[in-house]
Amino acid sequence: MKIHERIHTGEKLLFCEYCEKVFSTKRNLIRHIRTHTGEKPFVCQYCEKSFSYRWTLKIHVRTHTGEKPFTCEYCKKNFSDKSNLITHMRTHTGEKPFACEYCEKVFSTKRNLIRHIRTHTGGSPFTCEYCKKTFSDESNLTIHMRTHTGEKPFACEYCEKAFSTKGNLIRHIWIHTGEKP
């Protein structure tokens, strides 16, 4: 009852030992502390990857099971989590709720806004550990890292070839399918 009453009073009694944040429930404090400690107590039964939160594990498990419980009302495409559905729905509605503070541009995702803002600020916060080249987007760094590691995670289903990017795989598959987009 006392914990419930804190919702109404706004009373917060639990302090994070790593930063200045304060919490009204022990459960929320424990979850928050994982952001500092890196603790990941929730483990995938399929691949043993671990997660800080039960809900992120639940979404991850769907990559193994193929479960996609969220359906687009416009085109009936299915998604494994609600946030991807919401983002997809914006392709139908045209909604662009994220506005640039430097110019007039608007974006359908926060990620695209953040990437765009770096064109104004010149920010490149992602650095290659091998050659120190910097990137404005984490996905570009990931692709670049493959030039050093030789990793080719995208395998052709028709032959033995593998590729470092999904786009290169798609273009390669056209050789097998005869597709000419």
Q: Which domains does the chain have, with CATH numbers?
A: 2-37 (3.30.160.60), 152-181 (3.30.160)
Structure tokens at 171: 């273009």
Question: Which parts of the chain sit beneath pLDDT 70?
Answer: 2-3, 6-7, 10-12
The C-alpha atoms of residue 48 and residue 141 are separated, in whole angstroms, by 25
The pTM (predicted TM-score) of the whole model is 0.59
Question: What sections of the chain are H helices per DSSP?
Answer: 2-9, 26-37, 54-65, 82-93, 110-121, 138-149, 166-177
> What is the per-residue pLDDT for 119?
87
pLDDT of residue 5: 72
What's the confidence (pLDDT) of residue 115? 87
Matching residue, tokens 């091998």? 130
Q: Each residue of 26-72: pLDDT tens digit?
A: 888 999 999 899 999 999 999 999 999 999 999 999 999 999 999 99
pLDDT at position 11: 67
Backbone angles phi, psi at 98, to 5 degrees: -110, 110
Phi, psi values for residue 91, rounded to 5°: -70, -25
